[in-house]
Structure 1
Amino acid sequence: MSNRPFRRLRRPAAVVAAVSALALSVSTLSASSAAAPAQPTVIDKGLVSPLSVAVNDDNVVYYSANFAGQLYRKAPGKPAKVVYQSKGGKEVGAISTVGKTVYFVSGFNLMKLAKGKVTKVAALGAYEKENNPDAEVSYGLVDPAAECLEAWPTGDEAPPAQYTGIVEAHPYGTAVVNGTVYVADAAANAILAVKGGKITTAAVLPAVPVEITEELATQYGIPEVCIGETYNFEGVPTDVEAGPEGMLYVSGLPGGEIPGKGYVATVDPESGETTELASGLVAAAGLAVLPNGTVYVSQLFAGEITKIAPNGSRSTFAGAPLPSAVEVKGKKLYATINVLAGLEPGQKPGGKVVSYLR
């Protein structure tokens, strides 16, 4: 297994080869051992990496085939159709809706689909190059012993010993709140705010400290002398949603494939203050938030969608293979599942968009 996921999950395709074994190894870390009664209704299937879904007030479902660069529209009682196809292999995802308008990301640009026309809203990649919001955040080993630092592996496949935020963008989720589009950028480790085409940084996700255990050292080729040291992971926000009391809710996937490091946090969009709401999740890839603060969050490598009550108690809402995006509309929860299936050469795409009754 590559050491790169020790740093972060930069692109979901980077871990396809490890998904099956990893899902089995972390299944015991899910929120509840009891199987949930929720059963899905399939909306579409045979999709290439459907990592995002959104539903408007007319129950029209929009979803992505990220690595195929496609945005789909599925109206009730009508067949699905592709309403946008990117050029040059650009990834498409990070969908949200407001009224009949759809916001999404194509490559490193925020786009808008309105009245059948797609326009560019903001250049997110250019903003990252010019501003690099996490440039002053320290990642990697925290005050390591000299012996550990000296023995730390080098090379392209080795996790960096110590570094600060680099220039890199991967816009992964969006939410529209009072005319502002908030963007969770998983590589920039930031929540961006876009209004009137202008981009600002709403929050920089803090580093996530993790103790290097014997198991991690063995799995990622870390020297034994470094066991017990602390390694700061990048925050890697994967989704953002509007929550009660003006807060934003964010899911995060620090450590990539490492089990139990995912989280849900609240972000104050005015101050940028981040407060952890739930931790110990296995690759938190997407979330939905109810007005009372109830959270539904997907655990990509644990194979479940977890319900977190306002008091913090957790239960398994549904078991699902490789779930990613989740969205609540009325009495239904929409989700994308099996999102990394069928990406190897010769395999048929296996991604699905489904809905559950809550």
Structure 2
Amino acid sequence: MRTSKIIATAAAAATGLLLIAPTVASAHPKPAPTPVVKSNQLAAPFNLALNHGNVYVADGGLNLVGKLKRDGSIKTIAADQPGASGVATSKDGRYLAFTSTVTNEDTFENTASGLNIWGPKGKRVHVDTLAYETAKNPDKINHYGINNPSQCVIDAFTAAGFPYDYTGQIDSHAYSVTSFGSKWIVADAGANTLWKIDNKGNIRTLAVLPPQPTKITADMAKALGFPDCVAGVTYNFEPVPTDVEVGKDGYLYVTTLPGGPETPVLGARGKLWKVNPYSGNAWVIASGFLGATNLAIGKHGEFYVSEFFGGDIAVVKHGKKSTYLTLPGVVAVETSKSGELWAATLGNEDPPAPGTIVKIVHGKAYKQATVKP
């Protein structure tokens, strides 16, 4: 099962999701965090990057990478970039990296995916992650689905068009990117891996995330339309990494969707991982996210996670997760060196609503931010 389609269809999933003006939780012991809209001229702003006072955005709906201007408009830096989703800059701001993916909307097959590195003096490098994935297929070591399924279970999953027993497939969806020293780390949501790439385009596998087991209860089976024999079965879903950031401790931090139906039916199964950038060893430091599409690391070491299907930004402190801000349609979150928190929300077709970039501020009193069409 090509789980990258979960992200590839995020814009479609937003159809029917009521994206109202950003709001915050009413009860807050401290000055309430308030989203102030800085731009409403986006469609699918999957990632933000902040550097030297500039706000960069990768918009997979408008197929561009751009920079936020003071008047709220977006200055296009790279046009005609299909499925643009990840964006990052080098520490000195001399390099810009962004991901792009071509997807067949009928089959959800990714026919092209990679990282684009733009440097000084017009230097441009394209790294074909799909070609590398085709040659190496790192997650072929992972077994997904069900171990030793009964014939009843096989029949049920076959009838539902859902794979019941397979290993990692050829599928690259270079989704997010961050700078790591003089290199780049890419979270590939299709390959279930982290790639390490240098400015010359050399690529290697840094980490393969493990399968995500879920025990299907009787209530889950019923909600999914499965027969009773499916209850009690453990299904190993794909991990689907969605974002990667570098902590002050030098470790990588990664969010994952859990694969499979991304609905409350199977519970909030998204996770936050800590990854050794040299060995690739990974371990979970927080879980229980509903649609963990992005993360940011705060000034004091706290983690902010965008829960797209939960409609909020979660905060993780000392391993404990709580809701920081209610923000329907939130798909991206980022912090600046000074600790400013920014976020982006997905546009909506019905009812029509634009994609936005918002800055999270704290004030003595909450004042609702509005989005004008």
Same fold flag (TM > 0.5):
yes
Output aligned runs, 1:228-267, within 5 Å.
228-255=232-259, 256-259=261-264, 260-267=268-275
User: 1:203 is aligned with what amino acid?
Assistant: A
The match for 1:85 is 79
Match of 1:316 among 318, 323, 345: 323
User: 2:295 is aligned with what amino acid?
Assistant: L
Per the TM alignment, residue 336 of structure 1 is displaced from its structure 2 partner at its CA by 0.6
Q: In the TM superposition, what whole-angstrom CA distance separates every residue of 1:133-175 from its partner, at most 9, and x where no partner exists?
A: 101200011333x2443432326x6220111110011111111
The match for 1:355 is 359
The match for 1:45 is 40
The match for 2:146 is 141
SS at match of 1:276: strand
Question: In structure 1, what is the Cα distance between the partners aligned to 2:276 and 2:26?
Answer: 33
The match for 2:209 is 205
1:111–1:119 CA contact under 8 A, matched in 2? yes
Question: In structure 2, what is the Cα distance between the partners aligned to 1:78 and 1:151?
Answer: 53
Question: In structure 2, what is the Cα distance between the partners aligned to 1:175 and 1:208?
Answer: 24
User: 1:92 is aligned with what amino acid?
Assistant: A
Question: In structure 1, what is the Cα distance between the partners aligned to 2:202 and 2:61?
Answer: 27
The number of aligned residues is 336
Question: In structure 1, what is the Cα distance between the partners aligned to 2:291 and 2:275?
Answer: 19
Question: In structure 2, what is the Cα distance between the partners aligned to 1:141 and 1:14?
Answer: 30
1:279 to 1:214, Cα distance in 2 relative to 1, 3 A: same
The match for 2:124 is 119
2:11–2:347 CA contact under 8 A, matched in 1? no
The match for 1:11 is 8
Structure 2 residue 100 is the aligned partner of structure 1 residue 106: yes
Structure 2 residue 283 is the aligned partner of structure 1 residue 289: no
1:18 to 1:223, Cα distance in 2 relative to 1, 3 A: farther
* Runs of 4+ in structure 1 over 6 Å off: 4-8
The match for 2:22 is none
2:306–2:314 CA contact under 8 A, matched in 1? yes
Per the TM alignment, residue 10 of structure 1 is displaced from its structure 2 partner at its CA by 4.5
SS at match of 1:135: helix
Instruction: After superposing the two structures, state which structure 1 stretch, 110-119 or 282-291, moved more.
Output: 110-119
Per the TM alignment, residue 117 of structure 1 is displaced from its structure 2 partner at its CA by 4.1
The match for 1:172 is 175
Per the TM alignment, residue 269 of structure 1 is displaced from its structure 2 partner at its CA by 1.5
User: 1:97 is aligned with what amino acid?
Assistant: T
2:271–2:286 CA contact under 8 A, matched in 1? yes
Instruction: After superposing the two structures, state which structure 1 stretch, 285-294 or 135-144, moved more.
Output: 285-294
User: 2:85 is aligned with what amino acid?
Assistant: G
TM-score after normalising by structure 1: 0.85
User: 1:314 is aligned with what amino acid?
Assistant: K
1:5 to 1:113, Cα distance in 2 relative to 1, 3 A: closer
1:7–1:234 CA contact under 8 A, matched in 2? no
Structure 2 residue 89 is the aligned partner of structure 1 residue 97: yes
Instruction: After superposing the two structures, state which structure 1 stretch, 162-171 or 97-106, moved more.
Output: 97-106
Question: In structure 2, what is the Cα distance between the partners aligned to 1:273 and 1:313?
Answer: 22
1:150 to 1:124, Cα distance in 2 relative to 1, 3 A: closer
Per the TM alignment, residue 229 of structure 1 is displaced from its structure 2 partner at its CA by 0.6
Question: In structure 2, what is the Cα distance between the partners aligned to 1:8 and 1:92?
Answer: 15
User: 2:180 is aligned with what amino acid?
Assistant: V
1:116 to 1:158, Cα distance in 2 relative to 1, 3 A: farther
1:111–1:118 CA contact under 8 A, matched in 2? no
SS at match of 1:308: strand
1:8–1:236 CA contact under 8 A, matched in 2? no
Instruction: After superposing the two structures, state which structure 1 stretch, 255-264 or 117-126, moved more.
Output: 117-126
Instruction: After superposing the two structures, state which structure 1 stretch, 203-212 or 34-43, moved more.
Output: 34-43
Instruction: After superposing the two structures, state which structure 1 stretch, 274-283 or 90-99, moved more.
Output: 90-99
1:325 to 1:274, Cα distance in 2 relative to 1, 3 A: same
Per the TM alignment, residue 245 of structure 1 is displaced from its structure 2 partner at its CA by 2.5
User: 2:330 is aligned with what amino acid?
Assistant: P
Match of 1:341 among 338, 348, 353: 348
Question: In structure 2, what is the Cα distance between the partners aligned to 1:304 and 1:357?
Answer: 16
1:202–1:269 CA contact under 8 A, matched in 2? yes
Instruction: After superposing the two structures, state which structure 1 stretch, 258-267 or 217-226, moved more.
Output: 217-226
TM-score after normalising by structure 2: 0.82
2:185–2:194 CA contact under 8 A, matched in 1? yes
1:223 to 1:355, Cα distance in 2 relative to 1, 3 A: same
Instruction: After superposing the two structures, state which structure 1 stretch, 67-76 or 158-167, moved more.
Output: 67-76
The match for 2:312 is 304
The match for 2:286 is 278
The match for 1:189 is 192
